[in-house]
Structure 1
């Protein structure tokens, strides 16, 4: 499958259109030639201004209309905004809460750029077929456009401040009917967000950390087919290459060149499977000296740790987050980069996502490097 752009640069093609809209045919290409259309891709471009502020919301609903016969609705919120051209652009969806007419969703973070235009907030009943049924839109504070209600950011801020609810409406036979269901904003918080370059330009040093997968799916380290095989000829395995390539770049931004290094998913010399053990097997100290120290600790662990499993990385991320949080509390100018190397799909995917969300406000980046032939599609989709 490919997008036929007639060899033109996509950005130039879109922005030079008078409406800044472009529709592209998606075609299937085989060795014998084209074998039919797979649909179209609609692209809209607009100019935006830079903003480093994000807004965190917690949404809650009460008395939603039940759309199911034998159970209760499975509601989620869909938030969209209108572009200057009038095109509706989805920007966010909450998670689905099953069998609940009074749901409270996990926090939603939106940038000021996303909130620049009036919002369209819809509550839908999830259907596994993808044909979600509209429960309702918010009652108009500004105006109703077709069947959708637009809310500005200030409206949502006022809902939180006044602890008030906004009624949903539904369209029946061309008329808008006010429903009993209400939406509440339980939390509204504006906070600055900083990029990696912001930290570096402000004088932060980098602190490199690494975590290595010691699960049995890597194969017996004594066998040449193993991802952990130490080749006597000196040829580096996949883990050694990842450590060396990332470490050689990042170490120049760290003045003391002492790097925390851990392993996870291995059976340590005490007989227990650990999901965050010091790579040098020290009972107290995880830091090693330089990239050479990481490589030496990795080799030492391979000689003394039995591969086990499953692949759980939540504890490693929590450990890295603790170090980053400590540096913030001590006002030290450190930006932390955790290199997490694994050969397979994470077993604790939801725990990992939760740990990443908790760490999102810290000066911490996490690089997940996949080695071997495992399918990392699910990890990429949820990163």
Structure 2
């Protein structure tokens, strides 16, 4: 991947707010809405600088929008508090009169029909008027920079690449893009396509460090220059001299801007706003290596007030992903056990092969607990059956609708026993609208899982006796839960580690298959 980090998991959105039918509580009708967020660590509501202007009306339509950062892989809990303002210049919320509040999360707002939410404002279990929220992605988050560079008169016959970095507030630089490596004294790298928010965070005058490096063990620096996006966009400036700290570069070493443009393009949130559904499928490992569920040392042990690792993985990941599925219906399977006396590697935990879905994360947790009481742990640990079954479901649905995307969450404790077959299943499935998340629990050797992750080397399979078929794109992300500390921090860092790549995988599929986002559904509120 040329990108350092992800392009589409993060964005900025603007929330526009209005209220209706607010009760008259004080003599004045000065109304304001204030945003609180729930801290991931403490689970407490904390104040933010985000608020609307004050409007003198019981049916206020606020002009000032609230611009917030959006993170796909985080559960961003928001509380909108509507207050009757008593002291207009006092930032302390407690000195104002609370009319009511509404709790939600940002994922639910961006995934709502038409990007609009209409809910009651409540206080002490009573309703006090209506809160309307509409959301739109900020234009700067939708713009893409396309540019191509050529270097002149650098070291001959070096294999070189370009590294693009943006300035931090402390004066240091953070890498955001790396080109492929080519060999030439005047290398012209392929066109770069990078979001403006990734390149300069919307600041066209932010310093950008452009470096040319040799692809040797230590990535030797051959030349660099510091520019801004505004300078790059300046049609009168096409050449930038290359320099080196503390030493000279070859005579007339320079960087040429071959072409550059700044365009608005489709983003992950455009597809979500257009109604694209992200469908979650869950598969749970019930092999005997998990240990007797009645033993407190078992990975499937359920007792006390602490959730086991399987439950924590289901809740922390599922709670985020279910917001992008309008009906919240999730197929849940078990594998590697005897279900009703028969060994299965893709058994619906609700016992319904025709309709294996349950309602939301709470439904997953319920059928998981029921299964623990009745299942006979067995083996082996095979992934290919559930991957193949999910692929079949996707193909069937694609015949009627290509605007879909699936995420298969596999939670496992063991060493995979059908590695070669699973590799072939993943290579074939890599052409589908599918991402696979594998979460490893316990202390097993997860070496093969890291191979399936394919971050370092793409998976391949024999297409015939003489040719290899390479996976279409990287669709697998693996993490071991033991790498994360327990407690509330795990709820934050686990989904961040496994889900941050999904929007980029999603966009890669949509762009490669020329699938455009549908027009946003209009909902009058």
Q: Could you state the TM-score of these two structures normalised by the residue count of structure 1? A: 0.50
The structure showing larger relative contact order (alpha-carbon pairs under 8 Å, at least 6 residues apart) is 2
Q: Could you state the TM-score of these two structures normalised by the residue count of structure 2? A: 0.37
